Amino acid sequence: MSEQTSSKNYSFQAEVAQLLHLVTHSLYSNPEIFLRELVSNASDACDKLRFEGINHPEFYENDPDLRVRLILDQDNRTITISDNGIGLTAQEAIDNLGTIAKSGTKDFMSKLTGDQKSDAHLIGQFGVGFYSGFIVADKIVVESRRAGVSEDQAVRWISGGTGDFEVQEITKASRGTDIILHLREDASDYLASYKVKQIVNKYSDHISLPIQMQKEVWQEEEVAEGEEPKGGQYVKTDEWESINSASALWTRSKSDVTDEQYVEFYKNLTHAFDEPLVWSHNRVEGNTEYTQLLYIPSKAPQDIFTRDAKAGIKLYVKRVFIMDDADNLIPNYLRFVQGVVDSADLPLNVSRELLQESRDVKLIREGNARRVLTVLDGLAKSEDEKDQAKFKQFFAEFGSVLKEGLGEDAANKERILKLLRFATSTNDEISTSLAAYKERMKEGQKAIYYVTADSLNAAKNSPQLELFKKKGIEVILMADRVDEWAMNFVHEFDGIAMQSIAKGAVDLGDLQDADEKKALEQAQEQFKPIIEKLTDALKDKTKDVRVTTRLVDSPACLVTSEGELSPQLVRMLKQAGQAIPDVKPTLEINPEHPLVKKLEETGQFDDLANIIFDQAVIAEGGLPEDPAAYVKRINSLLIK
Ligand code: ADP
Ligand code: MG
């Protein structure tokens, strides 16, 4: 088919020789990626022809349908990756296959340490482009004819992957490039068509070009008449069939994709059985160019709260699969989002390390976060009942994960707050938004009040709530583990202060009338001696003791100072194994409560003081420091 007329030897650029040595002498962790690299090059070559073909339609010759073909030759132990793309001139072959031009590989080379083991690991993470062929081949022959060049000006490039390569002038009828890999002894796997199909499926299914192989048919063994055939074999036909779907769903325009196709793709992508709640598919242009196809699942995975919960975004670069679980592409608090990002700007050989530093990746991450929040906002605001039901389900499944964003993503805090839904002291259902709460605020109310507890029930019955109930002021109840932590980052919503009713002294401002304020002042005066005695009796356990009007039925409650960790958060952090300094709470007592009134009469002031304190601890979900002592004190009082 091709006829040689001249031949010349060249040496590889020093860096290439070094790289080749490494490729061939290191244990390659993932040899099959050679196919991804070579198919990707073939696809690039077709893209280039498409581009140049705009001004030079004659480049298409009589062969307009661009494709990549994989040809397995068991007899000669070769696999050929053949494209009808732009092709190479002899000079281009010398330049492009003999030197390292691309910055990614140079970067990669500079990271090599000379230590075989760690270098092998590095190679596994980077693709090494064309040279990756030498992982599986001990000889590579490239035959190419550039589009628009006459048949007798084609080139053959031959190398054993050591110091040099040979370039010959040949005749080649078909346009484009054939990369012929002479497989090493240990690389026979790649002569099996099922294996090759599998790899293409894994890495290159979404290449938008058909990747074809020769169709095989099963031929039974010939047997004498009357006998049953015992075996047979697959034989190649002259027909070519595509082994990839040839059109990445996300590269199509939205209007060309049906809902069913989106759902099917989601299932393929996630191997999940649920249907996605919603999805969003966009081409983003600007400082960095990419396509995003993001799904919000309808069910949270089991491991959503474990440390190794994986992000669900797959990264592609120009339709070539790069990696799963690219957690740099979505903030952690949106780790439930599944989908695909296809970047036009990242290098194909991008590693996880590189992803962390990339400016493009940062822009993509921010763009993805904004997109997800916008989609959720759309659902939340929609009048459509179906959308409302979807939002409700979303929040039930992922609401507490989303709250992590309050601490993690300062830029989107306001948008996240708008999406949150809460139970309140007047509405058990987790359905009240902060905006709705604000609408219902009483005249004169200056803050959005909330209380956090270990459960909704505990929140609902917390002593701190008593006065608010009495006065008919709605209070937001929070019982997610993350609430207490997340609320540390939230100080206001839409210009209104957010105030924990368990933190600091209650200041109901205009909601408290003059009489009530006066009564408090009187009580403070009257209880001064008792407060002093209490402060003394509880000096090891409390920071301060004071009179309050926030209580109605309970004798006392614990409060934390603004900006301090609450006892509940301290408990949580300690359970998580963190070393947390003890914070002493403030004890507030209810001067109207009979137990408080009787404090002095019992003659057991110390016991009663400790009981009141321990009960306040219990009321907010904790345990007395010394439960046995607590029981003893109670019993001694009961006996009396
Ligand atoms: P990259 O693809 O990142 O440029 P590679 O090492 O994969 O790096 O390829 C090196 C160069 O070799 C390509 O840039 C291209 O110029 C040339 N090349 C490789 N394969 C082909 C092909 N099938 N057709 C045309 N040119 C090719
Ligand atoms: Mg390449």
Residues in the 5 Å CB sphere of ion ligand 2:
41, 129
Give the per-residue pLDDT at 116. Answer: 60
pLDDT digits (tens, 9 = 90+) for 66-99: 999 999 999 999 999 999 999 999 999 998 898 7
DSSP 621: T
Do residues 599 and 609 make contact, with C-beta atoms less than 8 angstroms apart? yes
Ligand 2 centre from 11 Cα, in Å? 21
pLDDT of residue 124: 45
| DSSP bridge pairs for 234 | 218
Q: Which residues participate in the annotated binding site?
A: 37, 41, 83, 96, 102-104, 125-130, 177, 352
Q: Is residue 117 over pLDDT 80?
A: no
Interval 490-507 mean pLDDT: 86
Q: Which ligand is nearest to the CA of 103?
A: 1
How far is residue 158's CA from residue 133's CA, in Å, rounded to a whole number?
Answer: 12
Calpha distance 49→66 (Å, rounded): 9
8 Å CB contact between 167 and 77: no
359 close to 366: Cβ distance less than 8 angstroms: no
Ligand nearest to the backbone CA of 128: 1
Ligand 2 centre to CA of 525 (Å) is 83
pLDDT tens string 268-278? 677 666 789 99
What is the spatial distance between Cα 174 and Cα 241, in angstroms, rounded to a whole number? 19
DSSP secondary structure, 511-522, as one string: GS-HHHHHHHHH
Give the residue numbers of the binding site for ATP. 37, 41, 83, 96, 102-104, 125-130, 177, 352
In Å, the largest CA–CA distance within the chain is 118
Give me the half-sphere count of Cα atoms (radius 13 Å) on the Cβ side of residue 261: 13
Whose C-alpha lies nearest to ligand 1, atom 12?
A: 96
Q: Which domains does the chain have, with CATH numbers?
A: 2-242 (3.30.565.10), 249-388 (3.30.230.80), 514-564+571-639 (1.20.120.790)
Q: Percentage of the chain with pLDDT > 70?
A: 91
Ligand 1 centroid from CA 201, angstroms: 22
Counting ligand 1 atoms within 8 A of each CB, the residue from 33, 44, 100 with the most, and so the one to mutate, is 44
Q: What radius of gyration, in Å, describes the C-alpha atoms of the chain?
A: 36
Tell me the backbone φ, ψ of residue 541, rounded to 5 degrees. -105, -25
Long-range contacts of 230-239 (CB under 8 A, 24+ apart): 234/193, 238/214, 239/214, 239/215
Among protein residues, the one whose CA lies closest to atom 8 of ligand 1: 129
Q: Tell me, yes or no, if the pTM score tops 0.85.
A: no
Bridge partners (DSSP) of residue 241 are: 213
Q: How far is the CA of 315 from the centre of ligand 1 (A)?
A: 21
Contacts 24+ apart (CB under 8 A), 148-156: 148/56, 148/58, 148/59, 149/87, 149/89, 152/5, 153/89, 153/90, 154/2, 155/88, 155/89, 155/90, 155/93, 156/2, 156/4
> Mean pLDDT, the chain, as a whole number?
87
Confidence of residue 363 (pLDDT cuts 50, 70, 90): very high
Distance 40 CA to ligand 1 centre (A): 9
Q: Distance between CA atoms of 542 and 558, rounded to whole angstroms? A: 9
Ligand 1 neighbours by CB, cut-off 6 Å: 37, 41-42, 44-45, 83, 85-88, 96-97, 102, 129-130, 177, 348
pLDDT score of 120 more than 60: no
Residue nearest to atom 14 of ligand 1 (CA): 96
